[in-house]
Amino acid sequence: MAATAAASLAGSAVFAAVAYVAPSASSATTAAAGPPWGTDPNSVGALIFYNSAGKVVTSGNIADSPIAAYVQGSKTIRSGDTKATLFGYLPKQGQSPGLWSGEQLSASTTYPPTAGPLKSSTLPTVSGASGDETLQTLEADFPNTAPSSSPYYGLYVLRLLTSKKDEGVSVTYDSATIKVTGTTWSVVFVQAKTATALSVSPASTAYHGATVKLSATVSPKTAAGSVQFRDGSKTLKSVAVKSGAATYSTTTLPDGVNKLSAVFVPTDSSAYATSTSVTHSLKVIPHATVTSLKASKTTIKKGQKVTLTATETPAVAGSIAFYDGKKKLGTVKVSKGVATYSTTKLAVGTHSIRAVFTPSVAANDSASTSAIVKIRVTA
């Protein structure tokens, strides 16, 4: 479709000059990081190309019609719009993006599509059709004459604009930069932005050895890739994303404050950008143990045996020392959370008996002391 056809659909909004601030030398993007013209202020998102099965594609033949089965924007351009149209433009060095020449490549199609793999998506989508203008035609109508040494060599920009009944197309758009090399095209520079969020359960404090569940959500849900769950700079696990979600559970976080994050790594870095969640702080502390004490009898005669039974929960490794006031009577290793001690040597009088649990690994479990049990010994 010629430029005049595009103008009749888009009106002056498409081809009119727009305010543009060229990047300074210090802020200009390099060829590896972004297009040579820097930021286009009217581009609010990226374009993702899909085949008929809903798989992301990033290259093709310039003679293909349509260019792709679906071309979807990564951002909603204008609320309430229901139709999307694809345009192609030739970037010119020294010219702002609003002054570039171009033409309409597709029909104006309704979104979301009524059928197919993207029918549940609310993002602006052009459904391609046989007969759509090819990139070969765009290249013939607007030849890229930049020399091979120029950063503009072979580049074209595709823009998706949206509209609704009785209203012209949007001034802003989602866009992608492609490079034509011979008979093929490929996406360069522009990636769809992603966002990654992390939730942690328990949220703020966990006991040593407890199960901690990390749940990451990635948007858009169509972004394929994996999430690296990290503690500081250490990667705990890499998990594939399914329908925008990935989870990981662990019982091995070290004691202290753990700085947890989730990093999305796209399968196709030319289609989607990496994103990192906000860091979540989780404090891992030793088990809070509880020790209780019982005596077989609380009143005995001198020389009579009394058995002391201490129970420690949760049942972790360690030992229990039995005390009569400040005097240690004996120490017994805990077995399945229980330790017993018997004695016949309590003197006449009232004794304050207590049990003190000491864990085998102080970093894993806390010490604890039972309540006092009074034992009266008569003559």
Span 244-257, mean pLDDT?
Answer: 95
- Spatial contact of 124 and 177, defined as CB atoms under 8 Å apart: no
Residue 20 has pLDDT above 90, yes or no: no
- Spatial contact of 79 and 175, defined as CB atoms under 8 Å apart: no
Span 217-243, mean pLDDT?
Answer: 91
The CATH number assigned to the domain with range 290-378 reads 2.60.40.10
Q: What is the mean pLDDT of the chain?
A: 88
Higher pLDDT, 296 or 35: 296
pLDDT at res. 362:
81
How far apart, in whole angstroms, are the C-alpha atoms of residue 66 and residue 158?
A: 13
pLDDT at res. 23:
31
Over residues 278-327, the pLDDT tens digits come to 999 999 988 889 999 999 999 999 999 999 999 999 898 999 999 999 99
- 3-state SS, one letter per residue, for 251-300: CCCCCEEEEEEEEEEECCCCCECCEECCCEEEEEECECCEEEEEECCCEE
Higher pLDDT, 30 or 186: 186
First and final C-alpha spacing in the chain: 114
Span 238-257, mean pLDDT?
Answer: 95
Of 34-38, 49-53, 365-369, which range is least confident? 34-38
How far apart, in whole angstroms, are the C-alpha atoms of residue 115 and residue 105?
A: 22
Chain Cα centroid distance, residue 361: 35
pLDDT at res. 361:
83
pLDDT at res. 191:
64
Backbone angles phi, psi at 129, to 5 degrees: -145, 150
Residue 213 has pLDDT above 70, yes or no: yes
Of the pLDDT bands very low, low, confident and very high (cuts 50, 70, 90), residue 26 is: very low
pLDDT at res. 303:
96
pLDDT at res. 223:
86
Per domain, the residue ranges of the chain are 3-188, 195-285, 290-378
The one-character DSSP state at 141 is H
pLDDT at res. 61:
98
- Spatial contact of 69 and 128, defined as CB atoms under 8 Å apart: yes
pLDDT at res. 12:
30
How far apart, in whole angstroms, are the C-alpha atoms of residue 60 and residue 41?
A: 28
- Spatial contact of 344 and 304, defined as CB atoms under 8 Å apart: yes
Which amino acid appears at position 190 of this protein?
V
Higher pLDDT, 222 or 34: 222
Instruction: Compute and round to an integer the Cα radius of gyration of the chain.
Output: 35
Span 337-357, mean pLDDT?
Answer: 97
pLDDT at res. 273:
80
Pick the most confident of 42-56, 319-333, 357-371. Answer: 319-333
173-181 and 43-50 beta bridge pairing: parallel
Domains 195-285 and 290-378 share a fold: yes
CATH architecture of 195-285: Sandwich (2.60)
Residue 192 has pLDDT above 50, yes or no: yes
Of 26-30, 305-309, 347-351, which range is least confident? 26-30
pLDDT at res. 88:
98
Over residues 69-92, the pLDDT tens digits come to 999 988 889 999 999 999 999 999
